[in-house]
Structure 1
Amino acid sequence: MPRFLAVYTMKPEDLASFRNLPKTEQDAIDTAGVKEWAEWEKRNAAVILDRGGMVGKTTRVTKAGIASATNAICGYLIVEVESAEAAAQLFQDHPHITVFPGDGVDIMPFVT
């Protein structure tokens, strides 16, 4: 069965807006979101191969050297389902986009 990389994305300005909320609001969102995220993972446990995780600041390596970089990637997860459409449907109600300020989940098949 095909495997898919699901990459959680969040615009830096959306994260900044979230961090500018009063601490009590951030805590309430975090509490609700973490609970819903755990429930989502429990519902989909049979197809999750790697729970992945959230990621921090980016360091980019190029021919020119090593430098700090910015991108919208904030985490990942790996699932095994019959199609990209099936993988995408898993994430339609994901707390990353329904509770937290995430702007999307990019689904990509592994090709090797």
Structure 2
Amino acid sequence: MKNYLAVFTGTAAGRTDWDKLDADTRKQREQQGMAAWGKWMQDHAADIVDTGGPLGKTKRTSKSGIEETSNNIAGYVKVQAESQQDAAKMFENHPHFSIFPGDAVEVMECLPIPTKA
């Protein structure tokens, strides 16, 4: 089995649409979403390597120094699967974008650190 990092992405437009929902509708969707997310975690418990979680604001460090920045990454989870396709299939109809205002889940293989031969 290989390990895969899944990052949950979202857009400003999705967040704006979410914020337009009335408070009762948003609360109902939050409760529905958290229940569905919990079920997803339970259904895939054997394949979850790191439960991950939501991510906060971003700082960027480069040759120019440290600065505030933003990106579309909202959270992550690390899973194991036989292939990248199998890992990606775990996220079909995920509550991140089927209930919450998330945009997508991007799945990439975690490669080993190269060592000297």
**TM-score clears 0.5:** yes
Correspondence 1:16-95 to 2 at 5 A:
16-95=16-95
- In the TM superposition, what whole-angstrom CA distance separates every residue of 1:4-55 from its partner, at most 9, and x where no partner exists? 0000000022112212321111111100000000001100100001110011
Q: How many residues align?
A: 112
* Distance of 2:14 and 2:62 partners within structure 1: 28
Cα distance in 2, alignment partners of residues 91 and 82 from structure 1: 15
| Alignment TM-score, normalising by the size of structure 1 | 0.96
Residue 96 of structure 2 is matched in structure 1 by 96
Distance of 2:22 and 2:45 partners within structure 1 = 34
Separation (CA, whole Å) in 2 of partners of 1:70 and 1:32: 28
CA RMSD of aligned residues (A): 0.9
User: Aligned residues: percent identity?
Assistant: 37
- Give CA deviations for 1:51-78 in whole Å, capped at 9, x if unaligned: 1001111111111111111110000000
Question: How far apart are the structure 2 equivalents of 1:51 and 1:66?
Answer: 29
Q: Choose 1 or 2 for highest CA Rg.
A: 2
